[in-house]
A = this chain, B = another copy of it.
């Protein structure tokens, strides 16, 4: 018999979603495994280290969920889900090189084990493999969208690096960066099922809007958790953005809403080469005084609300419940 706790977890709508898609997810997992088998064993090893780590695979799940919602029965959805996960993992590998990140999904990051060299090249391998898989499906439209997405992701990551330490980063620029580096891939994960299943424009638009707003909310939520989350639950260190000098929503909010004395202090922190633990604690207390946590969640919720609104037309469908569950998942993890 199951323990009471397990039962309760099973009942969470997000887990029911994963269970309801388990067959399709398994298909995607198998295709991922198959496609990282290479004559060069190191490639298989490094790629599977990352991909087998217990990530939620949210992007492929969105692709599978929308495909089912639209009653698409073809095989292109699996291929698409694999491509999207490969593109995502390629950016993770390159992101780890970039940020010197030490924990990724609770495991040692690939660059700590094999070095920067292999991380970069296995990322290249996954990106190339994604393109190869896309080409196999011979859909020029999908290729157009995903090659543009891949370009936007690279631009977003470059902007992310190029705006480190800029305490006066505008909210507008910040939103544009997280759109490129994160929301874009969520957007196409949701939007592409409407392309492969030839949906009318209004359906395409709904999925596009859900994906964009959900993706924005996802990054906002991550950025909020980096200040207010619990390290163990996240599988990565808290305060990472702060120590790296990355300017995210909570900092932008606090900097805009605090006294000019505190502004100067925040500015000083971000001009330093290294920020100390004390700097972080001081920053948290400035945030406390500005109500940054609650205000950030309010800001996040605007995106979640728009995501929900975008798919209102699917009311009545079983899968609409799961879309709501995904939105709810981002909402509660920030509480």
Residues of A within 8 A of B (CB): 38-40, 42-43, 90-91, 94, 97-98, 116-118, 120-125, 127-129, 131-132, 134-136, 138, 140, 143-144, 147-148, 150-151, 153-155, 157-159, 161-162
Our pick among B121, B136, B140, B159 for the contact of A154 (Cβ within 8 Å) is B121
Q: Which of chain B's residues has its CB closest to A152's CB?
A: B128
Our pick among B90, B132, B148 for the contact of A148 (Cβ within 8 Å) is B132
Q: In the bound complex, do residue A132 and residue B147 qualify as a contact, i.e. CB atoms below 8 Å apart?
A: yes
Count the copies: 2
Give Cα A91 to B132, complex, Å: 18
Cβ contacts under 8 Å, A127 to chain B: 124, 127-128
Cβ contacts under 8 Å, A116 to chain B: 97-98, 116
Known: A97-B120, A118-B161, A120-B98. A143 touches B135 (CB 8 A): yes
Cβ contacts under 8 Å, A120 to chain B: 94, 97-98, 120
Give Cα A129 to B38, complex, Å: 26
Cβ contacts under 8 Å, A122 to chain B: 154, 158
Q: Which of chain B's residues has its CB closest to A151's CB?
A: B128
Q: In the bound complex, do residue B124 and residue A94 qualify as a contact, i.e. CB atoms below 8 Å apart?
A: yes
Cβ contacts under 8 Å, A129 to chain B: 151
Q: In the bound complex, do residue A98 and residue B124 qualify as a contact, i.e. CB atoms below 8 Å apart?
A: no
Cβ contacts under 8 Å, A151 to chain B: 125, 128-129, 132
Give Cα A123 to B120, complex, Å: 10
For residue A161, give the distance in angstroms from its CB to the closest CB of chain B: 5
Known: A97-B120, A127-B127. A40 touches B158 (CB 8 A): yes
